[in-house]
């Protein structure tokens, strides 16, 4: 039997239950019994750990203190999974540039700024948050905790088994991670049921994973590494590959009626934080991935913040051709927003480095005029000859 046929059969096995659920409608969601209380020693211990983590998270310097944005994200979650399900969730927005969200068994949900930067609409955000909530509803943290403890015990005993010890240890660990892959698929399928009954498009989830693959390929190309299309599952992988995920989510949602994406409302909600999140992305030293991300965000409309970020990206790499490109991007950003002080600063530094001292000094003077109290003014005044 060929590999292609095996993959097709596996996809069909995944498709049948959810396709049937889509046909029957939103009533097929499992009944929800409100927030549950921990039962047994394992779960109480797991909740104690989650409560301690939440106390530390609550005081973290990386928290985004923006009640309006937090309320907006909470509203998307509630529309995605339903008011009864979201009532017990406490959302924390965390300023970390990577794509991630997670949910603890005590109702704590973390959403990282790198995720907020990469999704394009309320529907895409709802798909990711719904996936994390599905883990919570299915109580996967408890299952994983128990299996991890068992795998750790087996691995410890394997040290005494001589030549067979490594084989037993690897089998135990492999079993644990295979179980996690099953959990991820279960959460994908339940989150798709949420999407079918929500006001959001069910097709959005597949779009997220497709773009993440494209960004990863752009990162690899920029670093002169081999491109990966995620068509193999490594032994220690805890998730389905992005290609698997994009493929089966697209297939399962193909026949579901299209619904709104909420791209404009999402863009408006994120506008205040977009420059800061882009600045964080610049610090990752990922030219290829960041260039892809900026182009993806812009589409056919490059705004001043996106042009400024692109100019900063090229200036930081600093090749002679990069400096010429960066200067053009700065000028385009300033044409769209002449009051963008940091744009004048970047342009001035870029031109100075490219030996265009007179034009560079003029740009820096504009920055000094717009930001007279900035900490770097004395240094820049020295550069301009003032």
What is the tens place of the pLDDT at every residue in 41-91?
A: 666 766 777 788 888 889 999 999 999 999 999 999 999 999 989 988 999
Asked if the model's pLDDT at residue 23 lies above 60, the reply is no
pLDDT of residue 115: 96
What is the tens place of the pLDDT at every residue in 137-147?
A: 887 765 554 44
Asked if the model's pLDDT at residue 39 lies above 70, the reply is no
Stated as kind and residue range, the H or E segment containing 111 is strand 108-112
pTM exceeds 0.85: no
**What is the Cα–Cα distance from 180 to 164, expressed in whole angstroms?**
25
What is the tens place of the pLDDT at every residue in 236-263?
A: 455 556 677 777 777 777 767 778 899 9
pLDDT grade for 37, boundaries at 50, 70 and 90: low
Asked if the model's pLDDT at residue 14 lies above 50, the reply is no
Return mean pLDDT, the chain: 80
CATH 1.10.10.60 correct for 273-384:
no
Render 75-105 in DSSP notation, one character per residue: HHHHHHH-HHHHTT-EEEEE--SS--EEE-T
pLDDT of residue 229: 57
CATH 1.25.40.10 maps onto the chain at 273-384
Render 281-318 in DSSP notation, one character per residue: HHTT--HHHHHHHHHHHHTT---HHHHHHHHHHHHHH-
């Amino acid at each position: 039997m060929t590999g292609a046929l095996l993959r097709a059969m596996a996809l069909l096995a995944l498709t049948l239950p959810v396709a049937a659920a889509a046909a029957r409608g939103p009533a097929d969601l499992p009944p929800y019994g409100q927030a549950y209380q921990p039962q047994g020693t394992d779960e109480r211990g797991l909740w104690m750990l989650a409560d301690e983590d939440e106390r530390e998270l609550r005081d973290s310097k990386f928290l985004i203190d923006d009640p309006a944005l937090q309320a907006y994200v909470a509203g998307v979650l509630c529309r995605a999974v339903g008011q009864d399900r979201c009532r017990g969730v406490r959302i924390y927005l965390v300023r970390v540039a990577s794509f991630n969200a997670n949910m603890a068994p005590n109702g704590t949900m973390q959403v990282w700024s790198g995720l907020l930067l990469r999704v394009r609409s309320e529907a895409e955000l709802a798909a990711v948050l719904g996936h994390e909530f599905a883990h919570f509803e299915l109580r996967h943290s408890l299952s994983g905790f128990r299996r991890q403890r068992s795998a750790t015990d087996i691995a410890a005993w394997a040290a005494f088994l001589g030549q067979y010890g490594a084989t037993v240890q690897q089998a135990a660990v492999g079993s644990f991670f295979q179980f996690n892959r099953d959990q991820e698929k279960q959460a994908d399928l339940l989150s798709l049921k949420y999407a079918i009954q929500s006001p959001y498009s069910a097709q959005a989830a597949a779009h997220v994973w497709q773009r993440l693959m494209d960004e990863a390929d752009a990162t690899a190309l920029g670093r002169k590494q081999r491109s990966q299309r995620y068509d193999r599952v490594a032994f220690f992988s805890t998730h389905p590959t992005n290609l698997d995920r994009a493929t089966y989510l697209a297939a399962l949602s193909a026949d579901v009626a299209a619904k709104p994406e909420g791209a404009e409302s999402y863009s408006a909600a994120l506008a205040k934080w977009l420059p800061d999140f882009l600045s964080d992305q610049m610090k990752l030293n990922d030219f290829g991935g960041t260039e892809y991300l900026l182009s993806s965000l812009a589409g056919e409309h490059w705004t001043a913040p996106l042009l400024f970020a692109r100019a900063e990206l090229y200036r930081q790499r600093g090749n002679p051709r990069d400096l010429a490109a960066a200067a053009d991007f700065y000028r385009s950003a300033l044409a769209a927003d002449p009051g963008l002080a940091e744009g004048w600063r970047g342009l001035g530094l870029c031109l100075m480095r490219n030996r265009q001292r007179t034009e560079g000094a003029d740009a820096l003077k504009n920055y000094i005029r717009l930001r007279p109290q900035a900490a770097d003014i004395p240094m820049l005044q020295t550069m301009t000859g003032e």
